[in-house]
Chains A and B, each alone.
Chain A
Amino acid sequence: MTTGDPGRPRTDRSPWNWLLVVPIVLPLLTFLYNADEPRLLGFPLFYWLQIAFIVVGVVTTTIVYRMTK
């Protein structure tokens, strides 16, 4: 538990936090994925791209966690 400098109040602000915006906004942009083609392993774009967004979410939150802990 770091208490930091007594003079400097603790904060949860960090430029890394902006990365969190990416997985929040990306899944809400329907024009990116609202189509059948191209298919991947039989999955239409609508389904495989949204499943791929999970990876974006995991990667960005992991980076922010590691950089701000």
Chain B
Amino acid sequence: MSAHTTELVVFILLFVLVSGMGFVASRWRRPTDLASLNEWGLGGRSFGSWVTWFLIGGDLYTAYTFVAVPALVFSAGALGFYALPYTVVVYPLVFLVLARMWSVSHVHGFVTPADFVRARFGSPTLALAIAITGLVATMPYIALQLVGIEAVLKAMGITGHLPIIIAFAILAAYTYQSGLRAPALIAFVKDALIYIVILAAVIYIPAQLGGWDSIFDAAKAKFDATPAPGDGFILNAGNQLQYVTLAFGSALALFLYPHSLTGVLASKNRNVIKRNMSALPAYSLVLGLIALLGFMAIAAGTKPVVGENGKADTNTIVPMLFDQMFPDWFTGVAYAAVGIGALVPAAIMSIAAANLFTRNIYREYINKNATDAQEAGVSKIVSLVVKVGAVLCILMLDPQFSIDLQLIGGVVILQTLPSVALGLYTRWFHKGGLLAGWAAGLAAGMWMLYLIPNPANGKQHFGGSAFGLSNLGFDTKMTIYAGFLALAVNLVVAALGTLLFRALKVADGEDATTRDDYFADEGDPKVKDLDLTGSH
């Protein structure tokens, strides 16, 4: 314990500073009234390019990413680097899509992706399916942020759950008070710390380890020596398709997550979004460098913390590397960066989850005439409930369960793509077809994930996302990202279902949006009342 005193002091100081900022944030860009989802949940929809850049960056590149991506590179090698092409592909991919989503949400006052689906396809049932999918995908993601903090605490020799409960209680309190303004303000500190730590790491650590050449050679030697088929210093014939489909599938999924959309809808106009799509890759560079920390850990001979159950926790590999390489005070800064890196996304995710509940369950099924103030009140309470749920997840279940759920979450959220993303471009799909496709995609995805074992930790099911094509009768060792195949099933069923429902002349929902809504910008007239028409 005493060996980590300096680290702990620096960590706590920075944590307290940031918590103070979280409470003060309610006065930042103070509106006349915080009691509406526009203000509490979307920061007044007024953020400019800089705030949006920090907010979305702080939202997407989470503490778990910083901990898990290098851990994957450490244990599997090249495959873990998929995070880089993933974040290169995503921004040009959503460049036009998000601008449309912003416009139609601006005109109609949408707060969640399910709000859009409700109005576009006139189906509360489809909207409910989208909302629940979003909730299921987001909840384990929040729990995983705790895993990120826990990895840092473990590396400082702190065991027990009390520190995490305290950290989340503080987070819950300032999110309750300040809404989206809290993570937006804290994101500045989080990103500044992350950039400082990573710059220091990629300059200082290679110098200590004899340069990049020897780091890569050490990694090559390690993977050449292991017989496992899935790992390697570069990709092999079996996992190239997995690498590409995982990168592309993850890119498709990223902005379907409700919390990513929260950051987008909080920006003040279309150009803020487009400009950010060309500025956000700065984070991809950082992510690529963070991934390589896994190789540095190999070269430095870093050993992960061994848990009470006797199993090594590879998620502690980066904290242990910092502890080994950096002076104590700077290790404290690095740990604080990871810890605060967990708070920003956890706050945004809980706000997004709360908004989904309020808009698409409370308003739809419990109180149809909810006022703005009632909506904000419900969201604030739900954001607390969501965080308590996340803490309970970590306290009562094996953290591995959250990791599995997060893996499932990516496959699950992809199934909202036809309704949410394609819905921005075409109204061709029938609401019944979309619902059938969603159900079929989910079923196919679950079935594939169930069949995937993980020989590394002896799990029989839900052991990863690499689905062997041999399961489908192909004579090959090739694997593919399960979410990608599930989405293909979804699209085929949605298209066939649409043709079938049309042929049977089943009534379709009303479209409450018009063509021009998709290109509206700041200052254009809005629809005052929500066009939430249609039958169940």
Q: Which A positions have Cβ atoms within 8 angstroms of B?
A: 1, 9-12, 17, 20-24, 27-28, 30, 34-36, 39, 41-44, 46-47, 50-51, 53-54, 56-58, 60-62, 64-65, 68-69
Contact = CB atoms under 8 A, between A and B. Distances in A.
A27 to B, nearest CB: 4
A54 B78 CA distance: 17
A46 B100 CA distance: 35
B100 A12 contact: yes
Contacts of A20: 92-93, 95-96
Given A9-B515, A28-B244, A69-B271, A53 B234 contact: no
A35 B96 CA distance: 34
Nearest to A19: B92
Contact of B240 (A10, A27, A34, A41): A34
A12 B519 CA distance: 7
Interface stretch (B105-113, B133-141, B209-217, B475-483): B209-217
A23 B251 CA distance: 12
A65 B524 CA distance: 21
A10 B519 contact: yes
Contact of A61 (B85, B92, B518): B92
Given A24-B93, A60-B92, A34 B234 contact: yes
A46 B277 CA distance: 25
B519 A61 contact: no
Contacts of B85: 27-28, 50, 53
A54 B533 CA distance: 44
Nearest to B524: A1
Nearest to A35: B234
Contact of B285 (A12, A54, A69): A54
Q: A-B pairs with the 9 shortest C-beta distances?
A: A42-B212, A27-B85, A61-B278, A42-B213, A10-B519, A20-B92, A62-B278, A65-B274, A23-B92
Nearest to B273: A65
Contacts of A10: 516, 519
Contacts of A68: 274
Contacts of A69: 271, 274
Interface string B75-112: 00010010011001101110110011000000000000
B244 A30 contact: yes
A60 B231 CA distance: 33
B247 A27 contact: yes
A42 B211 contact: yes
B281 A57 contact: yes
Nearest to B211: A42
A49 to B, nearest CB: 10
B284 interface: yes
B88 A53 contact: yes
Contact of A57 (B92, B248, B515): B92
A48 to B, nearest CB: 10
A16 to B, nearest CB: 11
6 contacts: A28-B247, A39-B213, A39-B216, A47-B216, A54-B88, A65-B278
A64 B278 CA distance: 9
Contacts of A53: 84-85, 88
Contacts of B40: none
A13 to B, nearest CB: 9
A57 B88 contact: yes
Contacts of A23: 88-89, 91-92
Contact of B275 (A51, A54, A56, A65): A65
B275 to A, nearest CB: 6
B234 A46 contact: yes
Interface string B280-298: 0100110010001000000
Nearest to B279: A58
Contacts of B275: 65
A28 B248 contact: yes
Contacts of B95: 20, 61, 64
Q: Which of A12, A17, A36, A39 has the most CB of B within 10 A?
A: A12
